[in-house]
Amino acid sequence: FVKETHAAALFPGGFGTLDESFEVLTLMQTGKARIIPVVLLDKPGGDYWETWMKFLTQHLYKISFISEDDFYFFKIIHDVKAAVKEITGFYRIYHSARWVGEKLVIRIAHSLTASAVAELNDKFADVLRRGSIVQSNALPQEKNEPEIRTLPRLVLTPHRRSFGRFRQLIDAINRAECTRSLEGSALSRP
């Protein structure tokens, strides 16, 4: 389910729905799957996911089975247009990521300004094991992906934990200032 998908939209349901929900969240939380947008969609006024969220908060977070950062993996939404906006916004600048040894290489659709990269370094210093977030071209180890070789990169050496912070980093990248305007640009899917 998770390996080949670029987003997950989950709807109220039974055991299967909850199983898929926890599977995608667990795989992202443990770093075993790439981070994707996860939308928990309910009808307007519905409380299915809010009730589920109360369970997470009162029974998992309260006793430290999950962390505050884990809540950034998903958004509870009650409107289809807002769900679409959440998913497409996830890929506004962010394209994809992969590990190259101990480095995380984040492919982005447009280069960021130097001040935007500096701001990422300030806000996400806790994610870094060493060094800083730097803008780069494709690394030699990425030659097996020629179709995205020309995309700019952000390269960092992070701790391999607290993957909810990685989702926050992706959100910050998507809000960052680019070196050129994004108006009217269409991104290809990862």
At residue 63, the 3 state secondary structure works out as: coil
pLDDT at 188: 41
Q: How confident is the model at residue 181 (pLDDT cuts 50, 70, 90)?
A: low
Structure tokens at 180: 């050129």
At residue 130, the 3 state secondary structure works out as: strand
- Tell me, rounded to whole angstroms, the distance of Cα 11 from its chain centroid: 20
Neighbouring CB atoms inside 10 A of 79's CB total 13
Mean pLDDT of the chain: 94
How would you classify the pairing of strands 38-41 and 74-77? parallel
Q: For residue range 77-87, what is the model confidence (pLDDT) as tens digits?
A: 999 999 999 99
The arrangement of strands across the sheet holding 8-10 comes to 8-10, 38-41, 74-77
Is this prediction's pTM over 0.75?
Answer: yes
Q: For residue range 7-30, what is the model confidence (pLDDT) as tens digits?
A: 999 999 999 999 999 999 999 999
d(CA 163, CA 29): 6
Structure tokens at 14: 């039974």
pLDDT at 190: 44
